[in-house]
Amino acid sequence: MAVDTPSCLAAELVTTGARHGSPSMLTRRLRQDYGLEVTFEEAKDLLRQLEAVGIVGPVDPRKHAHPVLVDRDAALAALGAAS
C-alpha cells in the first residue's frame, strides 16, 4: 500500500500526536496537512478500516473517538500487511 493513500495518511495522523482519532479530526487534519477533502462519512470509513487492522480500537462513547492502539511504525506495517 502506498504511503500517501488516505488510509496511510489517516493512520499517520492518528498515531502522531493524537491518542484518539475521530472523523471530525481526520477531516480537518487531512484538509490542513495534505489538502485532501474527505467527507465525515469517508472519515468514519477510514477509521473503520484502521479499526479492522488493529490501529485504533472501537469508539469510546464518552469521547466520541477511537483510542489509538499502536505507534506510527506499527500502524504503517499493519496497513502494509493488510494490502
pLDDT given for residue 82 in this prediction: 54
Grid cell listed for 44? 468514519
Torsions phi, psi of 81, nearest 5? -75, -25
Residue closest to 27 by CA, chosen among 11, 44, 15: 44
pLDDT given for residue 1 in this prediction: 46
For residues 46 and 3, which has the higher predicted lDDT (pLDDT)? 46
Question: In this structure, how many other beta carbons lie within 10 angstroms of the beta carbon of residue 15?
Answer: 22
For residues 15 and 55, which has the higher predicted lDDT (pLDDT)? 55
Express each pLDDT in 30-83 by its tens digit.
999 999 999 999 999 999 999 999 999 999 999 899 999 999 889 888 888 554
- In angstroms, the first-to-last Cα distance of the chain is 6
Residue closest to 23 by CA, chosen among 6, 5, 4, 46: 46
Contact in structure between 58 and 51 (CB atoms under 8 Å): yes
